[in-house]
Chains A and B, each alone.
Chain A
Amino acid sequence: MSHASGEGRLIQVEDITRVFHVGGEEVRALRGVSFGISRGEWVAIIGQSGSGKSTMMNVLGCLDTPTSGRYMLNGKDVSRMTDDELAVIRNEEIGFIFQTFQLLPRETALANVELPLVYRGIPARQRRERAKAALDKVQLTHRMHHRPNELSGGQRQRVAIARALVAEPSMLLADEPTGNLDSATGEEIVRLFEQLHQAGHTLVLVTHEPKLAARCPRAIRLSDGQLVADGPGRDVALGVGAGAAVGGA
Chain B
Amino acid sequence: MSRGPGFRVDVLEGARIALFSLRANRLRTVLTTMGIGIGVATLLAIVGIIQGLNTSFHRQLASFGANTLYVSKFPWMIKGDWWKYRNRKNFTLDQVARLRTLAPFITAMSPSVSRLSDVSYGGEQMSTVRIQGVNHEYLSISGFDVTAGRFLTEADEEVTRPVAVLGADVADRLFPGISPVGRSIRVDNRTFQVVGTLSRKGKVVNESMDLLVLIPFKTFFSSFGKGRSFEIAMAVEDAGQVRAAEDQLIGILRRIRGTPPGEPDDFNINKPEAMAQTYAQLTGALYGVAVGVGLITLLVGGIGIMNIMLVSVRERTREIGVRRALGARKRTIVFQFLMEAASVSAVGGLLGTTVGLGTAKVVSLITPLAADVQMTTVMGGVFFAALVGLLFGIWPAARAANLDPVEALRYE
Contact = CB atoms under 8 A, between A and B. Distances in A.
Contacts of B326: 90-91, 96, 115-116, 119, 163
Nearest to A98: B409
B333 to A, nearest CB: 10
A58 B328 CA distance: 16
B3 to A, nearest CB: 6
A102 to B, nearest CB: 5
Given A64-B406, A102-B318, A121 B325 contact: no
A83 interface: yes
B9 interface: yes
A103 B322 CA distance: 8
Interface in B1-36: 1, 3-6, 8-9, 13, 20, 24
B273 interface: no
A125 B1 CA distance: 25
Contacts of B3: 88, 92
B5 A119 contact: yes
B324 interface: yes
A150 interface: no
B327 interface: yes
A47 interface: no
Interface in A75-111: 83-85, 87-88, 90-92, 96, 98, 102-104, 106
A83 B326 CA distance: 13
A104 B319 CA distance: 6
B1 A84 contact: yes
A240 interface: no
B330 interface: yes
B405 interface: yes
Q: Is chain B's binding surface mostly helix, strand, loop or mixed? A: helix
A91 B332 CA distance: 13
A119 B406 contact: no
Nearest to A107: B20
Interface string B57-68: 000000000000
A238 interface: no
Interface residues of A, number: 26
B321 interface: yes
Contact of B406 (A58, A83, A85, A163): A58
B5 A121 contact: yes
A120 B327 contact: yes
A98 B326 CA distance: 12
Contacts of B405: 63
B62 to A, nearest CB: 59
Contacts of B319: 104
Contact of B328 (A63, A87, A92, A167): A87
A102 B327 CA distance: 14
Contacts of B324: 63, 87, 90
A102 B330 contact: no
Given A58-B406, A88-B4, A106-B24, A119 B322 contact: no
Nearest to B401: A83
Nearest to B20: A106
A233 interface: no
B30 to A, nearest CB: 19
Given A116-B327, A119-B328, 19 more contacts: A61-B325, A63-B405, A63-B409, A83-B330, A88-B327, A88-B329, A96-B325, A96-B326, A98-B409, A102-B325, A103-B322, A104-B322, A115-B326, A118-B9, A119-B323, A119-B327, A120-B327, A121-B6, A121-B9
Interface of A: 58, 61, 63-64, 83-85, 87-88, 90-92, 96, 98, 102-104, 106, 115-116, 118-121, 163, 167
Interface of B: 1, 3-6, 8-9, 13, 20, 24, 318-319, 321-332, 405-406, 409
11 contacts: A63-B409, A87-B330, A92-B3, A96-B326, A106-B24, A115-B326, A119-B328, A120-B5, A121-B4, A121-B6, A121-B9
